[in-house]
Amino acid sequence: MEIKASQVKELRDMSGVAMMECKRALVECEGDLEKALDLLRSNSSLKAEKKSSRVAADGVIRIVSTDSYATIIEINSETDFAAKDPGFIAFADDVVNYVSNNKVDDISMFASTEIEEKRLALIQKIGENIQLRRMETIEFDNSMSVGSYMHSDGKLATLVVTSNSDDNLAKDVAMHVAASNPLCKTPDDIDSEVLEREKAIFEVQAKESGKDDAIMSKMVEGKVRKFLAEVSLTSQAFIKDPDMTVGKLLSDNGADVTGYVRFKVGEGIEVETKSFADEVADQLK
């Protein structure tokens, strides 16, 4: 059966899939456009399943802010090249629009939406594993302010909500969180496992000093205090005025941080490094 170029183009416009894939689908379905579209969708699901095990550690961060909630979401691709693809950018925009109109509290909530269909189609189109990796939504009311910071490359972003209505303060703290990456809000909020791990390192260092037990104990206590001051948001020196802590900044403005989150693309993902020869061999396979 002869497949016209106009049919291929129409299916291409509907699916976003490469021309040759569209033509093969139309041939297999004897020119039936709807059946060919269903076939492409089915194939995209199969391809997505095959690619889902591949590491997707690049991509972008996007932020959505409404009158009652703000959401930060990480959208991953395998390479920076794919993250700059117009199709990937359009998909990220679709995610932002969806979250702007639908409050989403968990990444799994996308599974039964049109966003999932678009993700599968994008995988087939650009040939990389595309993932909605993680997200966090913070609620707030009219008495609060939400501040955000997005790095110029779109790969680092923060959200901060403060207890007063000073938008500039919230924005300044969001910028500080991006630059200083606090592990917790206050020293009391530090994860106990993190603290014990650091303390164990300090104890080993103290023993290597050869000092007596009393001095070693004070050395460890001092290093723990310094560590907590460096990693706790309220104890950190404010990036725009190092003579002032973030806690003092908040106190002077009668405010508190009610919630904050910082996302950096790919953090926590172990990426396998390959030589150029290995990459070529994989492509040939």
Give the integer Cα–Cα distance in Å for 121 and 26.
17
pLDDT at residue 51 in the model: 52
In this structure, the chain runs to a length of 285
Pairing status of strand 237-238 against strand 156-162:
unpaired
pLDDT at residue 99 in the model: 96
pLDDT at residue 15 in the model: 67
pLDDT at residue 73 in the model: 97
As given in the structure block, the two tokens for residue 27 are 């041939």
Cα torsion through 233, 150, 104, 57, rounded to 10 = -90
Percent composition of the chain: helix, strand, coil (DSSP 3-state, to 5):
50, 20, 30
Contact between 127 and 153 (Cβ < 8 Å): no
Assign domain 52-139 to a CATH class. alpha beta
pLDDT at residue 44 in the model: 59
**5-51 has which fold?**
Helicase, Ruva Protein; domain 3 (1.10.8)
Nearest to 78 by CA among 70, 88, 92, 93: 88
Give the integer Cα–Cα distance in Å for 28 and 214.
81
As given in the structure block, the two tokens for residue 243 are 């003579």
Within 10 angstroms of residue 220's Cβ, the number of other Cβ atoms is: 20
Q: What is the largest CA-CA distance in the chain?
A: 90
Low-confidence stretches of the chain (pLDDT beneath 50): 45-46, 48-49
Contact between 263 and 134 (Cβ < 8 Å): yes
pLDDT at residue 280 in the model: 52
Give the integer Cα–Cα distance in Å for 91 and 69.
22
Give the integer Cα–Cα distance in Å for 230 and 180.
9
As given in the structure block, the two tokens for residue 25 are 């689908």
Contact between 155 and 265 (Cβ < 8 Å): yes
For CA atoms 169, 136, 77, 41, give the dihedral sign: negative
Complete DSSP assignment for 85-121: SHHHHHHHHHHHHHHHHS---SGGGGTTSHHHHHHHH
pLDDT at residue 34 in the model: 86
Write out the E strands in the chain.
58-65, 69-77, 131-139, 145-150, 156-162, 237-238, 241-245, 257-264
pLDDT at residue 272 in the model: 60
Same fold, 5-51 and 52-139: no
Residue-range domain boundaries for the chain:
5-51, 52-139, 187-251
Nearest to 261 by CA among 147, 143, 142: 147
pLDDT at residue 158 in the model: 97
pLDDT at residue 181 in the model: 96
Give the integer Cα–Cα distance in Å for 260 and 148.
10
Q: 99, exposed or middle or buried, with CB in 10 Å at 0-12, 13-18, 19+?
A: buried
3-state secondary structure of 232: strand
